[in-house]
Each structure stands twice: as C-alpha cells, then as structure tokens.
C-alpha cells in the first residue's frame, strides 16, 4: 500500500484541509496473530497508521512494553478510570470487560483516538468480538476484519503461548472463547485467514482491504469543489 493519499483522500484534504481518522477493527481468537499483524502494518506505514491502546489489569508479559499495545494498570486504577468516565467498556455499574473469563479486565479508552496524532488517519483497533460490537455501535463507519486460522492452528498457538500466568483452566477457557469468536465471524465486513507460515500473505490481504476502503466515498468528499469553475464551460465551447 502506497504511503501517498488516495485520490479520494486528496479531494477531501483539499476541501477540508484534514482527514478524519479512519477506523479499522481487527478481531479474532486468541493466538491468531493479531498483534503481530498490527505491528507489521505499523512498521510498513509509520507515517499514516497508528493503533488503539487498550487498558488492562492483566500482568505484562516479558516481551510487552507499556503503552505500545496496552496500558497495564492495577484493578484499583482501572476502577478509578472507569468511574471517571475514561473507559469505553466500563461505567459505574459494569467495570470493564473480562474477555477470557479469567478475572482480568480490558477496556478501550472512552476517547478512542486518545493520544493518536491527527496525521495518522488510519487507526487500527485490536479487540475481541464483544468490543467490536460496541465500537460498531459508536462508530458505524468503521471497517471490521475478522482474523482467524484453521482450528488446529488456533489450538496449537494458544498452547504455545502458555506461560506462568496460564494454567490448565486458563488454557481451556481460552480455547472455549476461541470457539465463541468463530461463531461471530459472520458479523464482520471481511474475514482473513492467517495460516501457519503465511503471515506475509495475511498482511498483504489486510493492506488490500485498507487500500480499497480508503477509496470509499466518505463525508467531506466533494469532487466538484476541486475542479476549475469553468471546466465544463471550456468543454462545451469546444
């Protein structure tokens, strides 16, 4: 995908001087490779893409960096943010979303584009299917992409991810959650299979989706406004 603006984006930028954030939602079972995909997308397009940072009470893994994918907070801090209205998936009655049923809470920021520079107009959110439904309610123009893999690959990836924080109960819970996610695939705009050893093909497929959606006519597109006022008069005279 080119780093240049599409023709549609060029017209919007000429008539409005800026581009609104375009939101792309990636969801799918645990272990399907969503974070790897997003990391590669951001590396390929650092000047125009960014990601949503989710808040969570789960422990940070050794290879994770605070603020890169998640904001890791204590349950007390999470509740404080929820009561202050700063979390999308939490309020005074329901504090956060327990994605895997393991007592670890997650939530997107209430201001979904919190901390994202205006010029990075392509924004990617990595969330679960429940979060995807909520985001679609609030941002009906978002594009939803379900990333999955053959079931045997999913189970093997979940098992491979095991660490000191994942016991047998946690493993079984994650596998059952993956089954529920698969049922929800029909709710999404696109489905992409991330097969073992084909990560480059997966990323290319998602880049194609993003490129096509960037050419979709959205609010602010006014082709007539960027044409010379006498353009059709000159044609008529000829």
Instruction: Provide mean pLDDT across the span 67-91.
Output: 87
User: Strands 106-107 and 54-56: what pairing?
Assistant: antiparallel
Residue 103 and residue 166 in contact, taking contact as beta carbons nearer than 8 Å: no
Residue 237 has pLDDT above 60, yes or no: no
pLDDT digits (tens, 9 = 90+) for 17-29: 889 999 999 998 8
CATH class of domain segment(s) 53-111: alpha beta
> Which CATH architecture best describes the domain 1-52+118-226?
3-Layer(aba) Sandwich (3.40)
Instruction: Provide mean pLDDT across the span 218-235.
Output: 82
Phi and psi of 71, rounded to 5°?
Answer: -105, 115
Helices (H) and strands (E) in the chain, counts: 8, 8
Query: Which residues are paired to 71 by β-bridges?
Result: 55
User: What is the pTM (predicted TM-score) of this model?
Assistant: 0.82
Band (215; pLDDT cuts 50, 70, 90): very high
The rounded distance, in Å, linking the Cα atoms of 21 and 79 is 28
Instruction: Provide mean pLDDT across the span 170-189.
Output: 80
**Where in the chain are all domains bearing CATH 3.30.63.10?**
53-111
Q: What pLDDT was estimated at residue 38?
A: 95
Q: Indicate the average pLDDT of the chain.
A: 85
pLDDT digits (tens, 9 = 90+) for 120-154: 999 999 988 888 998 999 999 999 999 998 877 77
Cα–Cα nearest to 129, from 34, 26, 11, 24: 26
In 71-145, alpha helices (H): 75-83, 129-138
**Where in the chain are all domains bearing CATH 3.40.50.300?**
1-52+118-226
Residue 238 has pLDDT above 70, yes or no: no
Q: What pLDDT was estimated at residue 137?
A: 92
The rounded distance, in Å, linking the Cα atoms of 87 and 55 is 8
């Amino acid at each position: 995908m080119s780093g240049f603006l599409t023709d549609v984006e060029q017209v919007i930028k000429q008539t409005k001087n800026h581009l609104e954030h375009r939101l792309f939602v990636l969801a799918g079972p645990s272990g399907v490779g969503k974070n790897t995909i997003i990391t590669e997308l951001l590396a390929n397009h650092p000047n125009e893409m960014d990601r949503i940072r989710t808040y969570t009470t789960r422990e940070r893994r050794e290879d994770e960096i605070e603020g890169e994918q998640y904001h890791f907070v204590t349950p007390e801090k999470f509740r404080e943010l929820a009561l202050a209205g700063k979390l999308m998936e939490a309020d005074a009655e329901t504090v956060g979303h327990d994605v895997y049923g393991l007592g670890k809470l997650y939530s997107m920021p209430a201001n979904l584009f919190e901390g994202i520079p205006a010029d990075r107009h392509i924004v990617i959110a990595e969330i679960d299917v429940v979060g995807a439904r909520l985001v679609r309610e609030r941002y009906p123009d978002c594009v939803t992409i379900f990333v999955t893999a053959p079931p045997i690959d999913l189970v093997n990836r979940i098992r491979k991810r095991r660490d000191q924080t994942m016991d047998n109960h946690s493993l079984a819970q994650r596998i059952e959650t993956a089954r529920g996610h698969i049922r929800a695939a029909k709710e999404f705009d696109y489905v992409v299979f991330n097969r073992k050893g084909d990560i480059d093909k997966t990323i290319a497929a998602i880049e194609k989706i993003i490129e096509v959606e960037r050419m979709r006519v959205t609010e602010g597109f006014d082709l007539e406004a960027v044409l010379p006022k006498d353009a059709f008069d000159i044609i008529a005279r000829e």
